[in-house]
Structures are given as structure tokens and as C-alpha cells.
């Protein structure tokens, strides 16, 4: 069974064809980094306009690469949120039009659920598992008991981890996206050079990154001559410590051993290395998707769409995207 996945939630135009929720026949991502880099962040209107230009070529390429025709497609799965509303509208309108004209069922996907299911394209972890979605827009911890059974156990109170990477890169004078830039810079720096704060909220499993970001800003103002590599490495090590410690705390408290990592920040090389070591020590099993499945893509939307489709969760043509959308039992 082939599902066509479409994602235009943020700044990448993505389409993919996935067979039976796991075999990736194509996974096309048209990046807009070049457009947004000079602004140090995404400019929403430019993102929507680029999606309008790219959506048809990207879907065509995904179909061509998969060697599929629209008659072979069992369902079209599209991200309906959360994300930038002008970006989401392009994907949702396109998916509705294609579904209507070709008479192919439409499936609406929560982008966060898509991130969690990206690992299913490579290996199927056993339920229950703890999923950490750590991206440019979100940093949340979910207990996953099965398809559609999600409970959020903690989240960021302010900036998402990826957003903190992007803002720190910008204040160090680099472009967007900042995560890969900081990742590369940090590899040449000393992570112990600067003791940036690690905030652990006591009354919940929530995390916070805005104080850390402000500490980096204050440090760069106070010591303008300091090595950017050391700042990057010290900042990155604080983010990693917060994420790893919180994940271990939550896993212990709910007695779950399988941990699934997802979202753009899960592509961070130091996080991937340290998480493997620290989780092994803590007796936890970690599932890390390949790098191109961590960042936004449509294969994860198609894979999630497969589970919606076989569970008869079909969208109707009143489907409207939502910029703000949580992930829980009621709205998965
Ligand atoms: O999942 P994603 O592609 O889009 C969202 O749904 O937000 O995540 C993008 C975020 C950006 O903030 C980017 O800087 C960050 O993921 N990112 C990284 C790395 N690669 C991407 N952060 C740290 N290290 C990386 N290697
Ligand atoms: Zn994403």
C-alpha cells in the first residue's frame, strides 16, 4: 500500500512515497535555507511563496522517483499543523485538490506525530516508549503507548532547543539554520570553557532554554574577544545535559526503557554520541533516526499516514490547518 506524504509546515517543501508505513520509495525535500539564511531566521511570507512555487515540482519528483502513478496511491497524508499557517495552507490546499480530483482518500497528520513515527521507517520500537521531539518549534517529551496514544509529560516553557541553537548562531554572527553551524563549530571548541547555566524546573519535567540563551548573549557582550568555538561548545553541552538528564528522569519515573529521539536537534552529532553513552549507563535503549529523517521530511508524514489510513482515520474536505496544535490522545 503506497501513501503519498506532503509536508509544508515550516520552510522545507517535502513530498515522499512510502510503502506499508516503512519502505521509503522516495523522500524529496526542497530546502529554503538559502532564502532565509541572510535574515538569521525564517521569514514566513517568503516561506509560503516558495512553497507555492515548489509544491508541484516536489510532488512530481517524489512520484517519479518512486516509479508510481496517482492510481497506485492509496491515500494522501498531509501535515495539518503545528507550523507556520501560510506554509501549512499551501500543503493542505494542494493535498485537498489532489485528493478531490483523483478521488484518493485524504489523511491529516499532526507534524509532531510525524516526527515520532520517523523511526518506524527504519526500525519499529516496542511500546510503550518515551519520545523526545526536539526541533526548531518544539521540545516535548511524550509517553507513547500505541498508535494514537500519546501523553505529554514535559515540554519547554519558552524557547525550543532548536530555536535556542538558531538564536545563539545568529548572535554569534552566523546564518540560518544555526543548529548545524553550532554543531560544526562546537567540534573545534572546549565544552568546559564556560559554565553556562542549566535550568531544571523542580515542580515538573518541563525544561527551559531562554535563560541559557540570555547567558550566552551576556557573555558575548562582556567578552567580545572570546573564541566562538568555545562559546558554541559550552552552549551546546548545556543543551545536551538538560535534554539527557530530563529524559532519564522521566524514563525512570514512568519506568519505560525505550527512548525514541526525533526532530532536527536529534541530528546533533554530540547529542547523538553522548545520548548513546549516557543511556547505556542508565540501562535505557535509544532509537535514533538517520540524519535526514530527523529534520523535516515527508516520509515521516507518509509513514504516520499509513497508520491513520489502516485505522480508518480519514479527513474530510473541511480540513483546515492549525498553526497551534498539541499532541495528545484526543488530537493525534
Ligand atoms: O525538525 P526540524 O527540521 O523543523 C521543525 O519542525 O522545527 O528542526 C529544525 C531545527 C532548527 O532549529 C535547526 O537549527 C535544528 O533543528 N538542527 C540542529 C541540527 N540540525 C538541525 N540543531 C543542532 N544540531 C544539528 N546538527
Ligand atoms: Zn519538524
State pTM to two decimals. Answer: 0.96
Q: Give the nearest ligand 1 atom to 12 CA.
A: 3
Statement: residue 194 has pLDDT above 80 = yes
pLDDT at position 37: 87
Atom of ligand 1 nearest to the CA of 267: 26
User: What's the gap in Å between 221 CA and the centre of ligand 2?
Assistant: 32
Determine whether the shortest distance from the Cβ of 267 to ligand 1 is under 6 A. yes
DSSP string across 156-191: BSSS-HHHHHHHHHHHTT--S-HHHHHHHHHTTS-T
- Give, as residue ranges, everything with CB less than 5 Å from ion ligand 2: 135, 296
Give, in order, the Cα–Cα distances in Å from 84 to each of 111, 135, 277, 293: 12, 14, 36, 20
Give the residue from 262, 79, 255 showing the smallest Cα distance to 161: 262
Residue 317: pLDDT above 80?
Answer: yes
- Residues 84 and 133 reside in one and the same domain: no
Q: Is there a single domain that holds both residue 140 and residue 284? A: yes
- 302 near 14, Cβ under 8 Å? no
Residues 21 and 84 in one domain: yes
pLDDT band at 43 (very low <50, low <70, confident <90, very high): very high
- Ligand 1 contact via 83 beta carbon (within 6 Å): no
Distance, CA of 328 to chain centre:
17
Asked whether residue 103 falls in the same domain as residue 131, the answer is no
Q: Is the beta carbon of 21 within 6 A of some atom in ligand 1?
A: no
Residue where the block lists cell 538564536: 167
* Sign of the alpha-carbon torsion through 19, 21, 25, 30: positive
Residues 305 and 243 occupy one common structural domain: no
- Let me know whether 164 and 275 are in one domain: yes
Identify the CATH number of the domain in which residue 30 sits.
Answer: 3.30.420.40
Cα 82 to Cα 5, 90, 144, 319, 320: the distances in Å are: 16, 14, 19, 14, 12
- CA angle 321–324–327, rounded 5-degree value: 95
Hey, whose CA ends up nearest to atom 23 of ligand 1?
Answer: 179
Is 284 found in the same domain as 215? yes
Answer yes or no: do 202 and 250 share one domain.
Answer: yes
Collapsing DSSP states into helix, strand and coil, what is residue 23?
A: strand
For residue 38, the model assigns a pLDDT of 86
Is residue 123 a contact partner of residue 47, using CB atoms and an 8 Å limit? no
**Spatial contact of 306 and 12, defined as CB atoms under 8 Å apart:** no
Total tally of structural domains belonging to the chain: 2
Burial class of 182 by CB neighbour count within 10 A (0 to 12, 13 to 18, 19+) = buried
pLDDT in tens, 217-273: 999 999 999 999 999 999 999 999 999 999 999 999 999 999 999 999 999 999 999
Is 178 a pocket residue for ligand 1 (Cβ < 6 Å)? yes
Nearest ligand (C-alpha, residue 33): 1
Q: What is the pLDDT of residue 199?
A: 87
Reduced to 3 states (helix: H, G, I; strand: E, B; else coil), residue 142 is: strand
pLDDT, residue 235, reads: 98
Cα of 112 vs centre of ligand 1, distance in Å, is 14
| pLDDT value at 330 more than 70 | no
Ligand 2 centroid – CA 310 distance (Å): 24
Q: In this model, does residue 295 exceed pLDDT 90?
A: yes
What pLDDT is recorded for position 40? 83
For the Cβ of 114 lying below 6 angstroms from any atom of ligand 1, the answer is no
Q: Are residues 269 and 206 in the same domain?
A: yes
The percentage of the chain sitting over the pLDDT mark of 90, rounded to a whole number, equals 94
pLDDT tens figures, 117-175: 999 999 999 999 999 999 999 999 999 999 999 999 999 999 999 999 999 999 999 99
**146 and 261 share a domain?**
yes
Same domain, 54 and 111: yes
Same domain, yes or no: 220 and 243: yes
Looking at every residue in the chain, the average pLDDT score rounds to 96
For residue 59, give Cα distances in angstroms to 3, 98, 195, 306. Answer: 12, 11, 47, 18
Mean predicted confidence (pLDDT) in 311-318: 97
Distance 224 CA to ligand 2 centre (A): 33
Q: To 10 degrees, what angle do helices 228-254 and 161-171 make?
A: 170
Range(s) of the domain holding residue 6: 2-117+294-331
Confidence of residue 329 (pLDDT cuts 50, 70, 90): low
Amino acid at each position: 500500500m503506497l501513501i503519498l506524504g506532503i509536508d509544508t509546515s515550516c520552510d522545507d517543501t517535502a513530498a515522499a512515497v512510502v510503502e506499508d508505513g516503512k519502505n521509503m520509495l522516495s523522500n524529496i525535500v526542497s530546502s529554503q535555507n538559502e532564502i532565509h539564511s541572510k535574515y538569521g531566521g525564517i521569514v514566513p511570507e517568503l516561506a509560503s511563496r516558495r512553497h507555492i512555487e515548489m509544491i508541484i515540482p516536489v510532488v512530481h519528483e517524489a512520484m517519479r522517483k518512486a516509479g508510481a502513478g496517482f492510481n497506485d496511491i492509496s491515500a494522501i497524508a498531509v501535515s495539518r499543523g503545528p507550523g507556520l499557517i501560510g506554509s501549512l495552507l499551501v500543503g493542505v490546499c494542494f493535498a485537498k485538490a489532489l485528493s478531490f480530483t483523483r478521488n484518493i482518500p485524504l489523511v491529516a497528520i499532526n507534524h509532531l506525530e510525524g516526527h515520532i513515527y520517523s523511526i518506524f521507517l527504519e526500525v519499529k520500537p516496542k511500546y510503550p516508549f518515551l519520545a523526545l521531539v526536539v526541533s526548531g518549534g518544539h521540545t516535548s517529551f511524550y509517553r507513547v503507548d500505541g498508535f494514537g496514544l500519546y501523553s505529554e509529560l514535559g515540554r519547554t516553557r519558552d524557547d525550543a532547543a532548536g530555536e535556542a541553537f538558531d538564536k545563539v548562531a545568529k548572535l554569534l554572527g552566523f546564518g540560518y539554520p544555526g543548529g548545524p553551524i553550532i554543531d560544526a563549530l562546537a567540534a573545534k571548541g572546549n565544552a568546559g570553557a564556560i559554565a553556562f547555566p542549566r535550568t531544571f524546573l523542580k515542580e515538573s519535567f518541563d525544561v527551559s532554554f531562554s535563560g541559557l540563551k540570555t547567558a550566552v548573549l551576556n557573555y558575548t557582550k562582556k567578552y567580545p574577544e572570546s573564541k566562538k568555538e568555545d562559546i558554541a561548545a559550552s552552549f551546546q553541552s548545556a543543551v545536551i545535559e538538560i535534554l539527557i538528564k530530563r529524559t532519564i528522569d522521566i524514563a525512570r519515573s514512568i519506568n519505560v526503557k525505550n527512548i525514541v529521539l526525533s526532530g532536527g536537534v536529534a541530528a546533533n552529532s554530540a547529542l547523538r554520541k553522548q545520548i548513546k553513552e549516557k543511556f547505556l549507563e542508565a540501562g535505557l535503549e535509544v532509537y535514533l533516526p538517520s540524519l535526514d529523517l530527523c529534520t523535516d521530511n515527508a516520509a515521516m508524514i507518509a509513514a504516520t499516514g499509513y497508520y491513520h489510513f489502516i485505522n480508518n482515520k480519514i479527513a474530510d474536505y473541511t480540513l483546515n490547518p492549525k498553526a497551534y496544535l498539541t499532541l495528545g490522545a484526543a488530537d493525534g
